[in-house]
Amino acid sequence: MRVLMFTWEFPPLIAGGLGMACYGMVKALLKLGVEVDLVLPTKELIYMPLRKVEDVDLLPTVFLDPIKQHEFKSKVFETREEKFEFIGISGIPETYAQLSLSDNDHSKRLREYWDSEIRDIDEKKLWQAMSDNLVGEEDIIRKVQIFTERAKRFASELKFDIIHAHDWLTYPAGMIARRISGKPMVAHIHATEFDRAGGPGDERVHKIEHAGMTYADRVIAVSQYTAQMIMSRYQIDSGKICIVHNAFTIPEDAVLHKERIFTGPVILFLGRITLQKGPEYFLEMAKRVLDKHPDARFIMAGTGDMGRQMLRDSAAKRLKNKFLFTGFLNRKEVERIIRASDIYVLPSISEPFGISPLEAMAYGITSIISKQSGVSEVVHNAFKIDYWDVDLWVETISHLIENPEKCAKLGYDGMKEVHLIQWDDAAETIKKVYEEKCSPVKAKTKKGED
Amino acid sequence: MLSIIFYFQVHQPYRLTHYNVLDIGKDTELFDEQLNREVMQKVAQKCYLPTNKLLLDLIKRFDGKFKVAFSITGTAIEQFKAYSPETLESFQALVETGHVELMGETYFHSLTSLYDSNEFLDQIAMHRELMQNEFGYYTTTFRNTELIYQDRISDLVYEYEGFKTMVTEGVDRILKWRSPLYAYKNYNKRINLLLKYYKLSDDIAFRFSNREWPEYPLTVDKFVSWVDKLTLSEKQERNQFLNLFMDYETFGEHQWAESGIFDFLEKLPEAILKHDHLGFIHPKDAAKLSNYQQEAISFPEPVSWADEQRDTTAWLGNDMQLNAQETLAEILYKVKAKGDEQLLRTLRIMTTSDHFYYMCTKYFQDGDVHKYFSPYDSPDQAYIYYINALAGLEERLLR
């Protein structure tokens, strides 16, 4: 079985939450013998045919253009990084593609396509919604347009059994590929616009998310929480939705034992400093816990659009040197800051899944997780609190500070539990979804017959 | 008779390293030795050494009729010793002429006058001792960091350390109709006050090489004619004092040698001394020459020589600065209570005003000046490193 997979992130090209999830998932799929043709928003028109487990790190690359492919083949790269540099995936895809198309042209071309090719009125509506909303002057929209345009060639030139598209940025590409190849499509939803925006967000993105999920044969949601959201807010047929929780596989070179930086208890926020992650709640609970436990230290690790505001607000609240910022941390530094912490908190306002608590728990750090998160569905040895219930957060953190043995015990239990949450199990479920041939109608009738 | 009082501020801070949370508990150096060395050696080459040489020559040439005063911070002296000993020697040679006055200030160029009177007085005493040891000079005129001044500060400086004269900014909103050209007394008439004449000081310190300035280029003749004009308003033969106060780094560092600043400085004494009614004196001599009843002048709120507002918001204005200062004061208190001498010295280096200046967010006209002097990308970065360093120091205290 071979999958044509569209995703926006994959290490080393952005190792955010989506990137890490795709990495873990693809690696586990390869172990199960599922082959993956990976398409990323690269500068060059390339894909990565992943066939063996090692390929997930080596990223073998093929250019669609035969001349370029020949040139690429004859090139010798000293290091892996050098090759990644050449194909343009060594960092954030700022240089991605040539932004030469105007969005009007793009929208017009898509419109012509569905006008001439598509007869089904429902299908036509979806295409119209997608193409009418994939417009705008923003850099990201234009990048998505080019990514979508390219999907036509991948769909017609590659051989595959199923299409797997991650999040809205790749849904239009998945739709095109499904239309051209006639192969089934799986839309994976890692986060909706509601989650990202912490509010209604961008209308265009909703429309594209809706079109993609409706057009797809199967929708994979990263949690029950997300499944609820796409049923209620996007009216996606529940029979089509399958829940596959994310997992976390601890790196082989991980160092697990604690290494303190501070004498007092350390409470950690780790992630993008953005509205969705609830940094303001973290600040508020810090203020109130510190009133009671001035020896505690609160660390806000990461960067984000609200970083400056948090910095200034923490100063305005006069949290002295007890509320600290790390700035950007690399993987090794993330490990060090986790190992120096006692309590991890995830006060997200809306978190479809949230891998980083699994990471913290894997190191034996006691975690307190927002109830408005997918990860709270899979772990048991952690506290789960409504993100807005600051009183309870404060009470819980204080309780853990006052009862260090209990805190340590819970951390240990959480660690044992999390080490069992492996990508291998998630990949089994995904493989089953592929194998069902993704015909929701068939699945339904079968159920009905039973 | 109008006497020019030149006072030059000589100061270099110990700049912090980019100190991160993960550095806490490690033996990471708090101060960026390489950067501090580079800055000191650069400024010594561009400013201290050539200007000292020129001043020594001028003092000799005019047989002591040309006089200047310096205030040199403890952190500058220490860094001369470490990175540029010949600079310290050249200052010592200047003082030996007997025509240079040294002024007292806080050893660490700190803002402690605003939040910790005991520490303020300790640092003044330390500085006085340093001037004795390095130059054999007993200071009698006091200059507070950034010319920060307030009635209560004059009380401290007079009552505990017995200084006779203080200098500060000629702030318009305090002076109102009065002129900064006369010697004043503090609010309770116990100490003499000399006020900076900011217009002519800043013409040299800030505008000298500014081509947009309508008076550009500033020639010695033009400057002397302005000085001469100031005497016209005095009809009762009261002695006037023109207080030209500025950073010493004006010469060769802020105003590059190419701007002609050294030429200006070299020609100025002769052009002034040609006039019988113009001359140079030291700050400490102003009171003796004031042939009139010195008026008392009150500064209920703190003032400084910085920015348009002439207040203290360049250092203690925004929340980051205030949070940093409150944290510092708290740890300073704890360290003193514990009696850890080594930690106390490190914390005192952290009291240097520059650390707070880097956190300033007044990023309009005045912000440009702040930006020029900061080794960090942004005020936020400066704050992060500073507060991390204070967290690291507190951990050392707990161990």
CA distance linking residue B95 with residue B81, whole number of Å: 17
Looking at residue A142, its pLDDT comes to: 84
- Chain A, nearest residue to B318 by Cα: A316
Q: How far apart are CA A168 and CA A186, in angstroms?
A: 12
Percent of chain B with pLDDT over 90: 93
Together in a domain, B218 and B161: yes
How far is Cα B207 from Cα B389, in angstroms, rounded to an integer?
37
What domains can you pick out in chain A, each with its CATH number?
2-243 (3.40.50.2000), 266-418 (3.40.50.2000)
Q: What does the pLDDT read at residue A304? A: 87
- Closest CA of chain B from A312, distance in Å: 6
The boundaries of the domain holding residue B329 are 319-398
Per-residue model confidence as pLDDT tens digits over A213-241:
999 999 999 999 999 999 999 999 999 99
Point out the catalytic residue in the list B101, B119, B146, B249: B146
Residue A184 DSSP one-character state = -
**What type of residue is B180?**
P
Q: Residue B147's closest CA among B189, B98, B201?
A: B201
> Is residue A308 less than 8 Å (CB to CB) from chain B?
yes
B211: domain CATH number is 3.20.110.20
| 8 A C-beta contact, residue B254 and residue B261 | no
Say which residue, B321 or B399, is predicted with more confidence: B321
Choose the final residue of a domain: B289, B309, B342: B289
Q: How far, in Å, are A162, A227, A231, A235, A438 from residue A239 at the CA level?
A: 19, 11, 10, 12, 11
Question: In this predicted structure, what is the pLDDT of residue B383?
Answer: 96
- pLDDT score of A108 more than 80: no
> Which chain A residue has its CA at the smallest distance from B378's CA?
A308
Contacts of A315 in chain B (CB under 8 A): 318-320, 322-324, 383
Q: What's the Cα-to-Cα distance from A113 to each of A59, A107, A125, A390, B226, rounded to whole Å? A: 33, 10, 13, 52, 80
Preferred mutation among A273, A319, A320 to probe B, highest tally of B CBs within 10 A:
A320
Q: Which residues of B244-255 are buried (b: 16+ CB within 10 A; e: fewer)?
A: bbbbbbbbbbbb
Q: To the nearest whole percent, how much of chain B has pLDDT over 70?
A: 97
Q: Is the pLDDT of residue B370 over 70?
A: no
Query: Tens digit of pLDDT for each residue in B13-41?
Result: 999 999 999 999 887 899 999 999 999 99
Q: Are B112 and B153 in contact (CB under 8 A)?
A: no
Based on DSSP, count helices (H) and strands (E) in chain B, helices before strands. 16, 9
pLDDT at A133: 85
pLDDT higher than threshold 70 for residue B369: no
Mean pLDDT of the region A10-35: 89
Residue at B37 is within a domain = yes
- How much is the pLDDT for A121? 83
- Asked if B22's CB is within 8 angstroms of A337's CB, the reply is yes
- B188 and B330 within one domain: no
Residue A100 is predicted with a pLDDT of 39
Point out the least confidently predicted range of A157-166, A333-342, B178-187, B366-375: B366-375
pLDDT at A96: 38
pLDDT above 50 (res A27): yes
Q: For residue A153, what is the enclosing H or E element?
A: helix A139-157
In a domain, B297, yes or no: no
H/E run at residue A323: strand A323-327
CB contact under 8 A, B21 and A316: no
Are B22 and A263 in contact (CB < 8 Å)? Answer: no
Domain-ending residue, one of B242, B268, B289: B289
Is any Cβ of chain A less than 8 angstroms from the Cβ of B25?
yes
pLDDT above 70: percentage of residues in chain A: 91
Distance CA A413, CA B34 (A): 48
Same domain? For B52 and B187 the reply is yes
A-B Cβ pairs (cutoff 8 Å, strict) = 68
Q: Does A334 touch chain B (CB under 8 A)?
A: no
> If you write DSSP's letter for every residue of A346-374 in order, what string do you get?
E--SSBS--SHHHHHHHTT-EEEEESSBS
Question: Virtual CA dihedral for A58, A431, A229, A233, nearest 10 degrees?
Answer: 100
Contact B323 A318 (CB under 8 A): yes
User: How many domains does chain B fold into?
Assistant: 2
Residues B136, B272, single domain; the answer is: yes
| Beta carbons of B22 and A316 less than 8 Å apart | no
- Going by C-beta distance under 8 Å and a sequence separation of 6 or more, which residues neighbour residue A349? A198, A275, A276, A277, A278, A370, A372, A387
pLDDT at A89: 67
What are the strands, taking DSSP E only, across B267-309?
Answer: 278-280
Of B320, B327, B380, the CB nearest to A321: B327
Q: What is the pLDDT of residues B192-238, one digit of tens each?
A: 999 999 999 999 999 999 999 999 999 999 999 999 999 998 999 99
Mean pLDDT, residues B293-302 taken together: 97
Nearest CA in chain B to A259: B25
What is the C-alpha end-to-end distance of chain B, expressed in Å?
63
Residue B388 with chain A: CB contacts under 8 Å: 321, 324
Distance from CA of A315 to the nearest CA of B (A): 5
CA distance linking residue B203 with residue B194, whole number of Å: 19
Residue B8 lies in a domain: yes
If asked whether residues B277 and B389 sit together in one domain, one would say: no
Q: Which residue has the tokens 């550095």?
A: B23
* Other C-beta atoms lying within 10 Å of the C-beta of residue B321: 27
Say if residue B274 is in the same domain as residue B335.
Answer: no
A101 pLDDT higher than 50: no
Q: At A170, phi and psi to the nearest 5?
A: -110, 0
Whether B233 and B129 share a structural domain: yes
**Contact (CB, 8 A) for A209 and A168:** yes
Distance spanning both ends of chain A, measured CA to CA: 28
Q: Which of B378, B387, B393 to mutate to test the interface with A (most CBs of A within 10 A)?
A: B387
Report the residue from B21, B395, B399 with minimal CB separation from A326. B21
Q: Is the minimum CB–CB distance between B388 and chain A shorter than 8 Å?
A: yes
Out of A67-76, A80-89, A153-162, give the one with best mean pLDDT: A153-162
- Whole-number mean pLDDT of chain B? 95
**Is the CB of B24 less than 8 angstroms away from the CB of A320?**
no
Amino acid at B201: S
Cβ neighbour number for residue B61 with a 10 Å cutoff: 12
Average pLDDT over residues B281-308: 96
Position A437 confidence tier, pLDDT thresholds 50, 70, 90: low
Q: Would you call B165 helix, strand, or coil by DSSP?
A: strand
Residue A14 has pLDDT above 90, yes or no: no
Q: Pick from B25, B318, B391: which is nearest to A324 by CB?
A: B391
Residues 6 or more apart whose Cβ sits within 8 Å of residue A303: A272, A273, A327, A328
Put simply, the answer to whether B383 touches A315 (Cβ < 8 Å) is yes
Whether cis (ω within 30° of 0) applies to the bond prior to B217 is yes
**Residue B94, helix vs strand vs coil:** helix
The verdict on residue B312 lying in a domain is no
What whole-number distance in Å separates Cα of residue A351 and Cα of residue A416? 23
Residue B160 forms part of a structural domain: yes
Return d(Cα B254, Cα B149) in angstroms, integer: 25
pLDDT band at A330 (very low <50, low <70, confident <90, very high): confident
Query: Do the chains contact at B323 and A260, CB–CB below 8 Å?
Result: no
CB contact, 8 Å: A245 with chain B?
no
Kindly state whether residues B271 and B383 are assigned to the same domain: no
Region A410-426 average pLDDT: 95
Q: Is B373 part of a structural domain of the chain?
A: yes
Nearest to B388 among A301, A324, A333 (CB): A324
CB contact under 8 A, A261 and B25: yes
What's the gap between Cα A163 and its chain centre?
Answer: 18
For residue B6, the one-letter residue type is F
- How far apart are the C-alpha atoms of A44 and A64, rounded to whole Å? 9
Measured in angstroms, the CA of A261 and the nearest CA of chain B are apart by 6
In angstroms, rounded to a whole number, what is the distance separating the alpha carbons of residues A268 and B25?
Answer: 17
Q: Is A92 helix (H, G, I), strand (E, B) or coil?
A: coil
**pLDDT tens for each residue of B135-168:** 999 999 999 999 999 999 999 999 999 999 999 9
Look at residue B306 and tell me if it is in a domain: no
Distances (CA, A) of A271 to A120, A311, A322, A327, B220: 44, 15, 19, 11, 61
Give contacts of A327 with chain B, Cβ < 8 Å.
20, 384
Helix or strand holding residue A399 (H, E): helix A390-402
Q: Which residues of A touch B327 (CB under 8 A)?
A: 320-321
Question: Mean pLDDT for chain A?
Answer: 89
B253 given a catalytic annotation: no
* Mean pLDDT along residues B108-128: 98
| B377 interfaces chain A, CB cutoff of 8 Å | no
**Helix, strand or coil for residue B102?**
strand
* Chain B contact set for A262 (CB, 8 A): 24-25, 391, 395
* Domain match, B268 and B163 both: yes
Question: For residue B157, how far is the Cα from the chain centroid?
Answer: 16
B81 and B164 housed in the same domain: yes
In a domain, B370, yes or no: yes
- Per DSSP bridges, beta strands A62-63 and A162-166 are unpaired
Pairwise CB contact (< 8 Å): A322 & B319: no
**pLDDT (mean) for A167-196:** 94
pLDDT band at A93 (very low <50, low <70, confident <90, very high): very low
Hey, what are B393's tokens?
């120091």
Q: How far apart are CA B120 and CA B40, in angstroms?
A: 26
Question: What is the structure's pLDDT at B60?
Answer: 97
Count CB-CB contacts under 10 A for residue A257: 7
